[in-house]
């Protein structure tokens, strides 16, 4: 990424909410684990999860955090199948 495009990218930063489909969620304990782990990333706000729909909704301070969130979810055994 060039210096100019990286500056443009960081100027775009703003809070956003993303919802993911996470097939490995089977119960409330999974949701609690995900909440605890994702909350440790600075810039991650509210984390909500639903074992019924297997969806996780995360508030991020910046789009830049998305790769980090996806990486961590895979690391802890809850890979994100897709954004919903």
Residues found near Cu ion in the complex (CB under 5 A): 26-27, 29-30
Q: Which is nearer to Cu ion, 26 or 39 (CB)?
A: 26
Residue 69: other Cβ atoms inside 10 A = 21
Question: Shortest approach of Cu ion to residue 73 CB, angstroms?
Answer: 14
Q: Which is nearer to Cu ion, 41 or 76 (CB)?
A: 76
Classify residue 70 by burial, with Cβ atoms within 10 Å: 0-12, 13-18, 19+.
middle
Q: Which is nearer to Cu ion, 17 or 77 (CB)?
A: 77
């Amino acid at each position: 990424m060039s210096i100019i495009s990286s500056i443009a990218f960081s100027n775009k930063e703003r809070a956003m909410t993303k919802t993911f489909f996470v097939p490995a969620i089977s119960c409330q304990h999974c949701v609690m684990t995900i909440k605890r782990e994702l909350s440790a990333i600075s810039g991650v706000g509210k984390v909500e999860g639903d074992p019924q729909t297997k969806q996780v909704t995360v508030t991020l301070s910046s789009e830049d955090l998305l790769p980090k969130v996806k990486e961590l979810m895979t690391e802890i055994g809850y890979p994100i199948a897709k954004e919903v």
